Amino acid sequence: MNEGGDRDNVIRVGFGADGKLTRTVTHEPVPAPSQPTQPRPNPAAGLYTVTEVARLFAYTPSRLRYWHRSGLLEPSARIGGRNYYTFEDLIGVRAAKGLLERGIPLQQVRRTVESLRNTLPKTTRPLSEVRVLADGRTVLVQDDAGTYEPTTGQAVLDFRIDGLESDVVRLLSAESDDRSKAYEYYLEGCKLDEQASTFEQAEEAYQKALSLDPALSNALTNLGNLNYRRDQLDDAERYYRRALERDPEQPEALYNLGFLRFERDEVDPAITLFRKALRSDPSFADAHFNLAMALEERGDWSSARPHWEHYLALEPTGSWADIAQKHLDEGPRP
């Protein structure tokens, strides 16, 4: 069974003082999150979560995760064990979406997006002054200084970056938008759910968020965690399952539900859920750790070993890294 079986071993979804997503982990305590400044003063300098990018482009988070897994486009920033989209990545998403909507084959779109991402760092102009044109085979990035990667054939995609900046501000930061208000309540819940004395206020904030935006699956996950920490495990499970109804690939809800099953000695269902969490987010260190534990409990040392190694690659220091290394050192050799 898991070596850290206390009531804080679930993963919550929160945001730090800089607005960056964090997972509160049992192994390494993190500061209580606080509400970021809205709107972002400079969209081109921001970092964006998969949920925000999905909202911006009217996609589901699972679509973007599929793009990540398939190698079409992945978030290029990584902070605190989490992946984030940069504004340059948003340009790539915008281009990919436009080309796919025009029927360009996926392989051609992948090559175009790769060319675009390689080209953007070469421009010295502000991103808001850049224009992107693409036809699925070649890509142009134009500014006042000239043209990069000359192309032949008529362009079928043409957009200016300043329009994308405006969309970021309008859709992710608009004070009047119900989703933005829901996000504010969600952030308030993240601030309040660190201490048992404010659990009720946190629950109220999350419920207000969901009343404004029922698709805010992270709020459902954190409500599940509140119930878990109150030892109301059936209620916790219901919230995790509701989160997965909204977002079937949300890694935190998959992991937390798996951890709950693991605690109940339901090892095989836990293994399945940990694997699903990792398919959604291969960089989810805790899912690697607990999947390795569950596989070892089943006696499958050879399958557990790569997950210990992945965990150490993601979290090379700390007491839990020492445990992972111990399992590697003392377990059977391949």
Instruction: Give the DSSP H or E segment for 141.
Output: strand 139-143
- List Cβ<8 Å contacts ≥24 apart for 264-267: 265/1, 267/294, 267/297, 267/298
Q: Which pLDDT score, from 0 to 100, does residue 119 have?
A: 65
Contacts of 256 (CB under 8 A, 6+ apart): 10, 11, 221, 224, 225, 228, 236, 240
Task: Calculate ∠ Cα 330-333-334, nearest 5°.
Answer: 150
Say which CATH architecture domain 43-169 belongs to.
Answer: Orthogonal Bundle (1.10)
Q: Which pLDDT score, from 0 to 100, does residue 242 have?
A: 94
Domain boundaries, the chain: 12-24+175-330, 43-169
Q: Which pLDDT score, from 0 to 100, does residue 33 have?
A: 23
DSSP 15: E
- Residue 76's CB: how many other CB atoms inside 10 A? 14
Give the residues of the chain that fall short of pLDDT 50: 1-8, 14-41, 80, 124-125, 129, 145-158, 174-176
- What tokens were used for 54? 């999905």
Instruction: Give the DSSP H or E segment for 14.
Output: strand 12-15
Q: Which pLDDT score, from 0 to 100, does residue 207 have?
A: 95
Q: Which pLDDT score, from 0 to 100, does residue 134 have?
A: 56
Q: Which pLDDT score, from 0 to 100, does residue 285 have?
A: 87
Q: Which pLDDT score, from 0 to 100, does residue 334 have?
A: 60
Is the distance from CB of 218 to CB of 51 less than 8 angstroms? yes
Say how far apart CA 259 and CA 267 lie, in whole Å: 9
Say how far apart CA 139 and CA 233 lie, in whole Å: 53
Q: Which pLDDT score, from 0 to 100, does residue 17 have?
A: 36
Q: Which pLDDT score, from 0 to 100, does residue 259 have?
A: 92
Q: Which pLDDT score, from 0 to 100, does residue 273 have?
A: 96
Residue 72: phi and psi, rounded to 5, are -70, -50
Question: What is the sign of the dihedral through the CA atoms of 1, 287, 23 and 80?
Answer: positive
Say which CATH architecture domain 12-24+175-330 belongs to.
Answer: Alpha Horseshoe (1.25)
Q: What is the value of pTM for the model shown? A: 0.60
Say how far apart CA 82 and CA 278 lie, in whole Å: 13
| Cis peptide bond N-terminal to 39, omega within 30 | yes
Contacts of 159 (CB under 8 A, 6+ apart): 94, 98, 131, 132
- What tokens were used for 140? 């142009």
- Angle of helix 251-263 relative to helix 217-229, nearest 10 degrees, comes to 20
- List Cβ<8 Å contacts ≥24 apart for 206-214: 208/182, 209/182, 209/183, 209/184, 209/185, 210/182, 211/182, 212/178, 212/179, 212/181, 212/182, 212/185, 213/178, 213/179, 213/182, 213/183, 214/246
Say how far apart CA 131 and CA 265 lie, in whole Å: 56
Mark residue 47 as left, alpha or beta (left: phi above 0; alpha: psi -120 to 50; beta: remaining): beta
